[in-house]
Structure 1
């Protein structure tokens, strides 16, 4: 572990350009950069006006070294809300220093403070380093479940189905 103490800072609307930059860095790492259609205007609206998700930054020596985006989901089986971790990103030059563990500790504290029943996330099948890290944090793969996605361009088709 690096000797410098990792701090955390909640994002503000002034951070939107930084957030978008981190999103693009993450997408590049995941080989999905062409899929990024988010804009600063969309992020401002959905994150800070509509408050649909939350972001915090891991900060080292007063410098943001990545970002974490999460939001609440709900489990009918558990009967309470959980946290869904949409994105966790640490710049490559800061990886391998234990900062991911510190981020998960911070997320676990948030989940406990909010009395959440679960912390859930998804991971690309090829991302072995992340999969091993998540397993080391106690995550288990939900092998009986497959994620399905309906994109917004299909909404009208659904509405108009007979």
Structure 2
């Protein structure tokens, strides 16, 4: 086995975009990808960095990646590691690369004092769900992901009180 996991570097921005686009294509969501190398430069290497990424190399060639960030759980008062994306090239699957990426993320989560790791998966993605069950992950029953974006996000933001000002009238 010739697997190497390493931190993403600024020279990997094109590779990160490639993996994001490959994941989106697999998920039938390529039409939603707008992120550019510059977006990932700001996200991963800006001040402050908002996320982290890791590249998996199999036999010396890029084979996959993971992108994650830390959030919090107010119920247990600890950080949690949120896995935004993990992708392994189809030709490199079955080599233990995905499991190695998740194992490294679990190691980092514990080293950072996190209480858990979380991620989302499309409900039709049976191969990924089976893989997640094989590593011990369970669905969060009774919870549904909510999203606010685009016009709805802008409209709600427009109702916020000015910083240090009085609340907006209702």
TM tier, shorter chain? over 0.9
| 1:30 and 2:32 aligned | no
Counterparts of 1:5 and 1:62 in 2: how far apart (Å)? 8
For residues 78-120 of structure 1, give each alpha carbon's deviation from its aligned partner in whole angstroms, at most 9, with x where no partner exists. Answer: 1110100000000000112222221121111111111111100
Which is worse superposed, 110-119 or 83-92?
Answer: 110-119
Q: Deviations over 1:111-140 (max 9, x none)?
A: 111111110010000000000111111111
In the comparison of the two structures, how many residue pairs are matched? 159
Aligned twin of 1:132: 130
Residues 32-78 of structure 1, C-alpha deviations (whole Å, 9 max, x = no match): 00000001111111221131000001111221101100000100111
Contact 2:2-2:60 within 8 A present in 1 as well = no
* Unmatched 5+ stretches in structure 1: none
**What TM-score comes out, normalization by structure 1 length?**
0.93
Q: Which is higher, the Rg of structure 1 or of structure 2?
A: 2
Counterparts of residues 1-162 of structure 1 (less than 5 Å): 4-49=1-46, 50-161=48-159, 162=170
Structure 2, unmatched stretches of 5+, are 160-169
Shift of 1:154: 2.2
In 1, Cα distance between equivalents of 2:58 and 2:158: 51
